């Protein structure tokens, strides 16, 4: 079968929303779904009926996304809710993350795979402590694009002065963070101003609408297309008569571009070989790039198993058992030195010992508390670990897949921490 260039699928944008309570986050997502024709008429009718039964004189679009009964009753978001919709230009996955401080871990989960972070602020309140915290978390997670949506502009009479004040304050704050791309957009989620259609109420604003920005923000170059990283998830050996000698290595490309004929090294063994072919389902393809899931075949019968990594010979990650990382702790039992946990990094698992906690980061002020020697639930700090197996790591700033890991309680199997590896 001849190599066929893989037809690139429609562009996908994953974005996470964050904001304080009552900033109108769920209403905004409801507005995006409604104005992009992503919901059915019966869904809209059900929401209109519920809004009417609650005595509202408007359609509460937040009911489209707040799925848990406790969320609807309190009018808040608790869990990470994922929503899918598409326009002719792009497909979208929205992670609607909770705003409360006690759900920081949920926000970290929702934003960890996002290409773009959407932070909402209430135009009447301006920047709050929560808004700053969300921006800090998004920058820690290296979300490459950030949008500040100044919502409820209708309640401040679409004032340009209010927008300029928030724009200036947030731009100043963002200079302390690692925010490569920032856009500030004035909107009204309830009325629909500047969400999908341009607002006639804000002639002074000449920037893009929110939907136009989401459709056109450039994300293709955000991934690392230079450093080849292919964590092996599964070794395919059918052992049938038809595929007697078939041996393929399945996984998801985490970095770089793989092509047949490339000389590669298998880590941690250090054995070298060449890629003979790459399969995508039943087709042989000419190249594979993130985030494609493919099967790679090698010329030589080298020993490869789950947890190994295929990389380029002169550009491979360094195996390391000493890990220095920013960790978000997710359980009520605090993280302390000498604690033993299971660790999962890409497809590789092992055990880890907490050597030291350097500091706890105050995500509101960016202050580093070096006196503390433990991390409580929802806290983020710099932690040193020693692992039983060498991990094939890159700095998180370089590759968000090979630069991250999770920590697991061995007794319960529950994920208790998420880590981002420092350079």
Q: What is the pLDDT of residues 110-153, one digit of tens each?
A: 888 899 999 999 999 988 888 888 888 888 888 999 999 999 99
End-to-end, the C-alpha distance of the chain in Å comes to: 43
Q: Do 216 and 262 share a structural domain?
A: no
- What the block records as the tokens of 282 is 């039943």
Q: Which domain holds residue 269?
A: 229-312
Interatomic CA distance for residues 22 and 377, integer angstroms: 24
Question: CATH number of the domain that 343 lies in?
Answer: 2.40.30.10
Query: Of the residues 175, 205, 222, which one is the last residue of a structural domain?
Result: 222
Q: Which pLDDT band, with edges at 50, 70 and 90, does 364 fall under?
A: confident
- Domain annotation covers residue 1: no
- Check residue 133 and give its pLDDT: 82
Taking 70 as the threshold, does the pLDDT of residue 16 lie above it? yes
CB within 8 A of 163, min separation 6: which ones? 123, 150, 153, 184, 186, 202, 205
Query: Of the residues 284, 312, 340, which one is the last residue of a structural domain?
Result: 312
Q: Phi-psi bin for 67: left (phi > 0), alpha (psi -120 to 50), beta? A: alpha
CB within 8 A of 395, min separation 6: which ones? 403, 421, 422, 423
CB within 8 A of 281, min separation 6: which ones? none
- Domain annotation covers residue 270: yes
Q: Do 297 and 274 share a structural domain?
A: yes
Question: CATH number of the domain that 169 lies in?
Answer: 3.40.50.300
Taking 60 as the threshold, does the pLDDT of residue 8 lie above it? no
Could you tell me which residue, 234 or 104, shows the higher pLDDT? 234
Interatomic CA distance for residues 349 and 56, integer angstroms: 52
- The total domain count for the chain is 3
């Amino acid at each position: 079968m001849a190599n066929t260039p893989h037809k690139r699928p429609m562009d996908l944008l994953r974005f996470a929303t964050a904001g304080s309570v009552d900033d109108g986050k769920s209403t905004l997502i409801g507005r995006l779904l409604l104005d992009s024709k992503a919901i059915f008429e019966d869904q809209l009718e059900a929401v209109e009926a519920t809004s009417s039964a609650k005595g509202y004189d408007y359609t509460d679009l937040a009911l489209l996304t707040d799925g848990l009964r406790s969320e609807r009753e309190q009018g808040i978001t608790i869990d990470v809710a994922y929503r899918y919709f598409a326009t002719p230009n792009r497909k979208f996955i929205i992670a609607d993350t909770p705003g409360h401080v006690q759900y920081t871990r949920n926000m970290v989960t929702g934003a960890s795979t996002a290409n773009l972070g959407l932070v909402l602020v209430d135009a009447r309140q301006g920047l709050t402590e929560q808004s700053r915290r969300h921006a800090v978390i998004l920058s820690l997670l290296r979300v490459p694009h950030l949008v500040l949506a100044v919502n409820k502009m209708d309640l401040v009479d679409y004032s340009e002065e209010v927008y300029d004040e928030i724009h200036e304050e947030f731009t100043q704050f963002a200079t302390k963070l690692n925010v490569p791309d920032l856009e500030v957009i004035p909107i009204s989620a309830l009325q629909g101003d500047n969400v999908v259609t341009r607002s006639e109420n804000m002639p002074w604003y000449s920037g893009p609408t929110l939907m136009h920005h989401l459709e056109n923000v450039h994300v293709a170059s955000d991934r690392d297309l230079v450093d080849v990283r292919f964590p092996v998830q599964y070794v395919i050996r059918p052992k049938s008569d038809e595929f007697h000698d078939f041996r393929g290595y399945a996984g998801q490309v985490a970095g770089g571009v793989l092509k047949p004929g490339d000389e590669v090294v298998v880590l941690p063994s250090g054995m070298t070989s060449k890629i003979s072919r790459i399969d995508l389902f039943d087709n042989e393809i000419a190249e594979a790039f993130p985030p494609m899931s493919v099967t790679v075949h090698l010329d030589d019968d080298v020993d490869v198993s789950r947890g190994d990594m295929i990389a380029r010979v002169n550009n491979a990650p360094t195996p390391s058992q000493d890990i220095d990382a920013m960790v978000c702790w997710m359980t009520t039992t605090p993280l302390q030195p000498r604690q033993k946990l299971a660790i999962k990094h890409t497809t590789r698992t092992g055990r880890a010992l907490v050597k030291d906690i350097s500091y706890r980061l105050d995500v509101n002020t960016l202050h580093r508390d070096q006196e503390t020697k433990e991390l409580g639930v929802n806290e983020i700090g710099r932690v040193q670990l020693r692992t039983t197996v060498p991990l094939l790591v890159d700095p998180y700033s370089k590759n968000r897949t090979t630069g991250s890991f999770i920590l697991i309680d061995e007794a319960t199997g529950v994920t208790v921490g998420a880590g981002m590896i420092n350079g």
